Amino acid sequence: MTDISPERGALAVTGLRKTFEAENAPVRALRGVDLTVSPGEFVAVMGPSGCGKSTLLNLVAGLDVPDEGTITVAGEPVTGRTEDELARMRRKHMGIVFQFFNLLEGMTVLENVVLPSVIAGRRRKMAETRARDLLDLLGIGDKASSVPGVLSGGQRQRLAIARALANEPTLLLADEPTGALDSAGGAEIIELLRRLHAGGQTIILVTHDPAVAEAAGRIVRMRDGRVVTSDPASDPAPASASASASASASASAFGSRTI
């Protein structure tokens, strides 16, 4: 069941605090963060280096545990879960794109996208069909049997995004997805994110790049572990993202090839 009602929202974060024990003094990375993201929204998180952006994303993804506060994704709590439950939540709800791709270099491009779905319990044939669709739509269908090592930076980033979308995630979480790319590669990714957003995909993206943030409907600015402004959407979530807006919106958009 991946449908989420707008009332429940795609993401609700309240009172999030996280302190890291460092050598000299503890680092208060998050000092009380509240954030709500509606289904279909595309939110860019910006702020100076060290202000807590990646920490926030990692906590939302259940990759680390907050000291205080709650996180709910599609109405399901992320906080207070066991490791196994968190792994299940991630497979069901999260597509995560890291700055340095984390691709499986010994496997083909196709296998990189098939594997998450198979792990999540999808039949291999279905997983392969969706993986080929995603690769086609992201413009790297002809590289399906190559290994990631032969791809350009932009192609590798698109592969990382294809893999994150394999399980039709409620949330696409991306930490500086254009950070390692030149401007042409960055522009390709921006265009891709715009198309995903238009297809109803909920996106939360950390970026330093104003050109990337411009593609988002809302910019959340952080400083010293807090959200300082959350500019209202100049470009509200697409109509397709209301009512039954959901993780499956992106799937149907892919299915009908409208992204």
Ligand X SMILES: Nc1ncnc2c1ncn2[C@@H]1O[C@H](COP(=O)(O)OP(=O)(O)OP(=O)(O)O)[C@@H](O)[C@H]1O
Q: Which residues bind Mg ion (CB under 5 A)?
A: 54
Separation CA 120–CA 155 (nearest Å): 25
Write down the residue that tokens 């707008």 correspond to: 6
Token pair recorded at residue 77: 């709590």
Identify what 178 binds: Mg ion, ligand X, none; CB under 5 to 8 Å per kind: none
Our CB check for Mg ion shows the closer of 219 and 247 to be 219
Shortest Å distance, C-beta 69 to ligand X: 15
Q: How far is the CB of 206 from Mg ion (least distance, A)?
A: 6
User: Cβ closer to ligand X: 113 or 213?
Assistant: 213
Shortest distance, position 233 Cβ to Mg ion, whole Å: 24
CB 44, CB 57: distance < 8 Å:
no
Q: For residues 50 and 210, which CB has a smaller minimum distance to ligand X in the complex?
A: 50
Residue 49 interacts, among Mg ion, ligand X, none and using kind-specific CB cut-offs from 5 to 8 Å, with ligand X
Query: Token pair for residue 226?
Result: 């807090």
Total count of residues recorded for the chain: 259
Q: What are the residues whose beta carbons fall under 8 Å from the beta carbon of 134, sequence distance 6 or more?
A: 113, 162, 165, 166, 254
Nearer CB in complex with ligand X: 1/25: 25
Residues in contact with 150: Cβ distance below 8 Å, sequence separation at least 6, in sequence order: 143
Nearer to ligand X, 64 or 235 (CB): 64
Q: Is the separation of the CB atoms in 162 and 97 below 8 Å?
A: no
What residues line the site for ligand X (CB under 6 A)?
Answer: 20, 22, 27, 29, 47, 49-55
Residue nearest to Mg ion (CB): 54
45 close to 222: Cβ distance less than 8 angstroms = yes
d(CA 253, CA 259): 6
Cα-only R_g, the chain: 17
Partner whose binding site includes residue 51, from Mg ion, ligand X, none (CB under 5 to 8 Å by kind) = ligand X
User: Minimum CB separation from ligand X for residue 19, in Å?
Assistant: 9
Q: How far is the CB of 29 from ligand X (least distance, A)?
A: 4
Decide which of ligand X, Mg ion, none touches 29; Cβ closer than 5 to 8 Å per partner kind. Answer: ligand X
